[in-house]
Amino acid sequence: MGNVRQVSRWPEETPRVMEVKYKRLSAGAVIAGLVCGPQARADVIAFGFGGAGVSGSGLLTFVPDTVIGDPGGAYTITNISGTFSDSNSNLSIANVAITGLVPINPVSPPLGAPIPVSLSYLSVVNPPPMDSAISYDNLFYPDGSPITCPGYPLAGGFLDVYGALFTLSNNDVVDLWSNGEIPGMVPLSYGAGVVNESSMVIDYQPTGVSMGVPEPGSLWLLGAGLLGVLGWRKRPALSLAIPGGRIAGTP
């Protein structure tokens, strides 16, 4: 891709694999049955994630992605709420409120397919080795993310390898991403990192986090103007995971 350099957003060059079992919401359950007329609708889904000392749960709001150049099947996350905890490194972050998203600020010019046009960077003063910034795109994939990085063969998960960046009430921000999978070989895991208000990375967990939807009876799927709870279903998840980090750009 020309002279675009490779940047691993929360990178580790040594592949890490952790098997994660999770429940995956079908795209049909997310999308079908929501009637909002000709206007773009906002759908809301419950989520939860945990592992490697971090956890969180809440509600995620998303709309059809209209950015030309983003992957097919992507939805734009417009809001997120809930709570987040991190017991690593004596951080003592316990049930801190999730207050919203960090808005995207797309890289210009775009880096080219399959990298999403929504790809954005957050500058930090102490990025992990071989990294210069945190990358994110705030995209959601009800039926699993595609390959979004040239030369990186893993795909899958509700987020892609760039992930979503959200804010906390203590002024920290949290980056949550999917590492993808290779079916039958590499199972899915997610990663998470925490950046404080001084732009310092204070926790980085490149793998070992799982993300899914609640058990039946706890899953609420909402639509704009919807008066009740819509139908849902679950199906076995794909096994997915990552070799260490996410790629923000490739050579």
Q: From CA 91, how far away is CA 84, in angstroms rounded?
A: 12
Per-residue pLDDT at 90: 85
pLDDT digits (tens, 9 = 90+) for 134-149: 999 999 999 999 999 9
Using 50, 70 and 90 to split pLDDT, how confident is the model at 110? very high
% of the chain with per-residue pLDDT over 90:
64
Would you tell me how many other CB atoms lie within 10 Å of the CB of residue 212? 19
Residue 171 lies in a domain: yes
Per-residue pLDDT at 190: 97
Using 50, 70 and 90 to split pLDDT, how confident is the model at 6? very low
pLDDT value at 107 more than 70: yes
Torsion of CA 142, 132, 120, 95, to 10 degrees: 60
Q: Are 139 and 206 in contact (CB under 8 A)?
A: no
Residue 242 lies in a domain: yes
Residue 38 lies in a domain: yes
Residue 15 lies in a domain: yes
Residue 130 lies in a domain: yes
Tokens of 77: 């996350």
Q: From CA 120, how far away is CA 162, in angstroms rounded?
A: 9
Residue 2 lies in a domain: no
pLDDT digits (tens, 9 = 90+) for 212-221: 854 433 334 4
Per-residue pLDDT at 213: 59
Residue 240 lies in a domain: yes
pTM of the model as a whole: 0.74
Total structural domains in the chain? 1
Domain that holds residue 160: 7-249
Q: Are 134 and 122 in contact (CB under 8 A)?
A: yes
pLDDT value at 15 more than 60: no
Range in 7-21, 75-89, 132-146, 213-227 the model is least confident about: 7-21
Per-residue pLDDT at 125: 96
Residue 1 lies in a domain: no
Q: Are 242 and 211 in contact (CB under 8 A)?
A: no
